[in-house]
Structure 1
Amino acid sequence: MSLKNKLARMKSHLNVKEGKEKPKSRPPVKSIPHLDEWENFNTTVYKGTEGFCLIREVKYPLDYKHGLYTFKELAHVIEGWNATDYHHPLSSKGYSTNELFFFDTETTGLSTGAGTTIFLLGYARVERDGVVFRQHVLPDQSGEIAFYESFLQEVNYEALVTYNGKSFDWPMVKTRHTLLREHLPKLPSFGHFDLLHAARRLWKRKLESVKLVNVEKEILNIERYDDIPGFLAPMIYFDYVETKKTEGLMKVMQHNEYDILSLITLYIHLSKHLLQNVDRTSTESYEVARWYEALGEKERAVRQYEEVIDGEDEEAEKALFALGIQAKREKEWEKSRGYFGRIKRTRNLIMQAQIELAKLYEHQFKDIKDATFHAEKAYSYIDETTNERLKQELEKRLKRLRKKVAL
């Protein structure tokens, strides 16, 4: 066979066009296997400009309790945020309840590259009369344009609330949108609250893993029953594409539904922690304080640290040390000395506090004898785990102070 004939046979696979082609008529929507099962699952068919997808909608009452809270609590925490005068990345100040868009996806893989496809887009909004939960499902690849078209037509939001959505879910949406952008509306801009970062800050030492299912069970009092593991979702989807049997894919949809409802509960719980509207462990209070300090919200951080300092655990001493440093920055020397002087239980913190006391006595109180005493006490806590640079700096400080005392 000649090269010309070979190329002619391959044109359909290569999508090569010669000259202008007449526009093709829109292909008819395929028949949908097991349509009655989909309809019984609150699912309807969306017919797009190209192909079709499935849309499922469920409504929950506001007094529905998912874990620790009913969904009506969201309005209370947003009211709390709107009463604040400080900044936080999870603050919904300026938003109304229905402007938060709780969002999660299911995909054919864990990569955000073009080879991975989203087959399920799920989201919920808390309206005045209930929680509207919706899912867009891609029955097969021929319906991808309709899939995103239906999603972008329905979506009207101000702030996305996700769990690792900044790193995965939304980059995936953007990747697929880029490939299909000639056929779709533009993606809107929005704020983004990614709750994974907050969960990691508050509970990374308490939990073996901060996967959402662990946070649900250990923190939010949510227990899943008859749930499929998330890692099975791609295999179940491929099985559906091949067999059209609905049971497995519906299980994946229920898994996604649980994820999104849990995002609402988690946002409420995190907000209550940050607004001081819930009982907290000393570790949680300390981590909240550290977060506010990192954001430059000094007054807020100080109040949070002060909640912890009367305890008997390591967090109390960490909080005392943080308050001592903050007072030192504000040139409140006596207050700083008082905080450092209360640290007496945690070896490394005692050493650090004694170093800070040596500095205060030398430079602020001009008491070389007491400065030397605290430097020597700090040195007594050095062991094989001590940072070498810190050890050398302390030795240098001691040598200088002893020379001054000898004068």
Structure 2
Amino acid sequence: MDLKRKLARLTGVGPGGKPAPRGAPTPPVAPEPRAEGVDTELASGLPAVTHPRAQGVDTDLASGLPVVAGPRVESGSVASPSCPLSVTEQRAEAENAAPLSGLLAVSGPRPNESAPPSGSPSVTESRQPSTEPPRPSDPRVESLRRMLAEWSERQGQTSARRAATPERARPGPLPVAPQDTPHGTVHVSERVLAPDHHHGTAPVAGALDVEGALVARLALHEDLAGVDYQRMLFLDTETTGLAGGTGTVPFLVGLAWFEGRSLRVHQLFLRKLGEEAPMLRVLAERMAASSCLVTFNGKSFDWPLLRTRFVLNRVKTPAELPHLDLLHCARRVFKHRGAGTRLVHMEEHVLGHRRVDDVDGSLIPDLYFRYLRGGDGSALTPVLEHNANDLLLLAALLGELVRRFRAGDGTDVPSGEDPRDLLGFAGVAFRAGDHARARAFAHAATRGSGAVGMEAHALASRLARMAGEPQAAAEHLHQALTAARGVQAATLHLELAKLYEHSLKDLPAALRHARLSAAAEAPEDHQRRLLRIEGRLERSARAHSLDLEARPPRSGA
């Protein structure tokens, strides 16, 4: 229903403000004289002053609503008395004009409209007495009028606010550049670091000075002993999530390799999903020219994910290289720190490098998805910087780990080293079968206090016993007992009982420590140990008594 009909329903009331009954005859309306430039509303007798408009249409200035009226008389002319309107025409004109008469009719001329010329009948004079009583104003019409005025005001305010709002900044450029390759266009960010570049306290080029044998022992991976570390490839990825599987996409593949003693950082960026194939082929070429991969948790995440992407994109998977995962090395060496083995922890606590304004890894997928939805490409600059720092950290951490592991060659361990790290190196060397290096680190770690010192003494005792030095082994165990409590103390007493029984042949000492080791072994084993040592003591005492009796008396006794 349009506005004209709605207003007609709201204003269509009969005499006395009540709706006219259906079927009631419409009283005839006599034609009224019209003043020049003034239309008289036929139903109500009120003047409807018109602005010069198209014939038959008038527009209300306040609301912009059309006011339909009958035939107009052009300005300067008077209605011809020889052409009176018939009753039917008058009634039709009244029905068209009546719905709006109560809402829009005014008692005087409109703005910008000239008054009637002198000599013409005025509005008051030209109005005939109405045959109907005046209609009361409908509150619904007044409410609708207020609503229209408020709506118009709100529209004006909204337009003003939009005009005052500054234009949205255009998205910035991506921090990568397109590069043509035989496999297609890839988007690359590249930099070269000088040979003397340091990441924290460690030189990045220190990774070139590692020895294959030490790396193999540090990683507990003998295949790494014969690797040419001048051609190693550092790898780290940034992905759309950590869930794994086919739904996770590596949108940034960070690579780094040495050219001389300078480190080249080469980052491959996926500008749009579905364009992985050229990027993967460039990665395969670089892997073919490398001797091994160096990653942090790459064995469990980065490489399995990339291998899946090769298969899904129907790109030939490159041959797998020897893989040095520094996460495993860091866990073994720094496990006594208690601060975790996240890459940023290693960077801060081992290398002394603290990142400023670094993007949190959990926010990286969301930043990439915003870019894909048309966001600011320059917002990905912190992501590329985060990835580049991870690559530098891999090189610096490898060189630092090997340098510190090399110091335990059996003679000289720096006294300023953290005892917790020394104990970690001792444990790695012990597992690798390098007992001389392990013993040197364990001796150095005994300077630690609390649990660290206790474990260092226990390991040093074990190594001394393996070296055929039972007395030194017993001394280390006694030192460890000063800091041990509970089950740990019982375990040390058990080791001392074994040592005194089998190596030092001191049965009373063995029995004393055996009685304190009940919590370290099963009750049956503990009882059997006690009975065995007690039995040996009885036999030893009896044998000693018999030996004394068999001896001849001394002369002069």
Q: Aligned to 1:59, which of 158, 180, 192?
A: 192
**Structure 1: 5+ residue runs without aligned partners?**
1-33
CA contact (8 A) 2:333 2:425 kept: yes
Matched, 1:226 2:226: no
CA contact (8 A) 2:192 2:263 kept: yes
Q: Where in structure 2 are the equivalents of 1:152-171 lying within 5 Å? A: 152-155=284-287, 156-171=289-304
Q: Aligned to 1:126, which of 258, 278, 282?
A: 258
Q: Where in structure 2 are the equivalents of 1:299-378 lying within 5 Å? A: 299-348=436-485, 349-376=488-515, 378=516
- 1:260 match: 391
CA distance in 2, matches of 1:167, 1:176: 15
- 2:241 match: 109
CA contact (8 A) 1:207 1:214 kept: no
Structure 1 residues 210, 103: closer, same or farther in 2, change over 3 A? Answer: same
> Which amino acid in structure 2 is aligned with residue 260 of structure 1?
L
Q: Of the two structures, which has the highest relative contact order with CA contacts closer than 8 Å and spacing of 6 or more?
A: 1
State the Cα distance separating 1:241 from its structure 2 match.
1.4
State the Cα distance separating 1:237 from its structure 2 match.
1.1
CA contact (8 A) 1:48 1:150 kept: no
In the superposition, the TM-score normalised over structure 1's length comes to 0.78
> Which amino acid in structure 1 is aligned with residue 436 of structure 2?
E
Q: Aligned to 1:178, which of 305, 311, 316?
A: 311
3-state SS in 1 of match to 2:191: strand
- More displaced 10-residue stretch of structure 1: 108-117 or 324-333: 324-333
Deviations 1:250-308 (A, max 9, x none): 22111111111111111122112211286421111111111111122222212221222
Structure 1 residues 129, 374: closer, same or farther in 2, change over 3 A? Answer: closer
Over alpha carbons, which structure has the higher Rg?
2
Q: Aligned to 2:219, which of 83, 89, 97?
A: 89
> Which amino acid in structure 2 is aligned with residue 202 of structure 1?
V
Structure 1 residues 208, 136: closer, same or farther in 2, change over 3 A? Answer: same
Matched, 1:44 2:183: no
CA distance in 2, matches of 1:368, 1:122: 64
Q: Aligned to 1:288, which of 425, 442, 458?
A: 425
- 1:23 match: none
> Which amino acid in structure 2 is aligned with residue 134 of structure 1?
H
CA distance in 1, matches of 2:262, 2:447: 43
CA distance in 1, matches of 2:355, 2:449: 36
CA distance in 2, matches of 1:133, 1:85: 23
CA distance in 2, matches of 1:114, 1:374: 59
- 2:371 match: 240
Q: How many residue pairs get matched?
A: 359
3-state SS in 2 of match to 1:342: helix
CA contact (8 A) 2:171 2:375 kept: no
In the superposition, the TM-score normalised over structure 2's length comes to 0.59
> Which amino acid in structure 1 is aligned with residue 311 of structure 2?
T
> Which amino acid in structure 2 is aligned with residue 89 of structure 1?
A
**Structure 2: 5+ residue runs without aligned partners?**
1-169, 408-412, 540-557
- 1:7 match: none
CA distance in 2, matches of 1:140, 1:269: 38
CA distance in 1, matches of 2:304, 2:213: 33
CA distance in 1, matches of 2:206, 2:353: 16
- 2:381 match: 250
CA contact (8 A) 2:228 2:291 kept: no
- More displaced 10-residue stretch of structure 1: 62-71 or 353-362: 353-362
CA distance in 1, matches of 2:294, 2:497: 47
State the Cα distance separating 1:152 from its structure 2 match.
2.1
State the Cα distance separating 1:87 from its structure 2 match.
3.5
Q: Aligned to 1:197, which of 311, 317, 328?
A: 328
CA contact (8 A) 2:179 2:188 kept: yes
CA contact (8 A) 2:171 2:378 kept: no
3-state SS in 2 of match to 1:125: strand
Identity of aligned residues (%): 27
Deviations 1:20-67 (A, max 9, x none): xxxxxxxxxxxxxx99934xx462334665x64311111111112211
Deviations 1:329-367 (A, max 9, x none): 455433433333333312244433322222233334444
State the Cα distance separating 1:227 from its structure 2 match.
1.7
State the Cα distance separating 1:69 from its structure 2 match.
1.9
3-state SS in 1 of match to 2:173: helix
CA contact (8 A) 2:215 2:225 kept: no
> Which amino acid in structure 2 is aligned with residue 189 of structure 1?
E
Higher helix fraction (1 or 2)? 1
Structure 1 residues 178, 219: closer, same or farther in 2, change over 3 A? Answer: same
State the Cα distance separating 1:138 from its structure 2 match.
0.8
CA distance in 2, matches of 1:202, 1:316: 16
Structure 1 residues 270, 105: closer, same or farther in 2, change over 3 A? Answer: same
CA contact (8 A) 1:58 1:132 kept: yes
Structure 1 residues 199, 54: closer, same or farther in 2, change over 3 A? Answer: same
CA contact (8 A) 1:43 1:57 kept: no
CA contact (8 A) 1:90 1:193 kept: no
3-state SS in 2 of match to 1:44: strand
> Which amino acid in structure 1 is aligned with residue 341 of structure 2?
V
Matched, 1:215 2:346: yes
The alignment's C-alpha RMSD in Å is 2.9
- 1:19 match: none
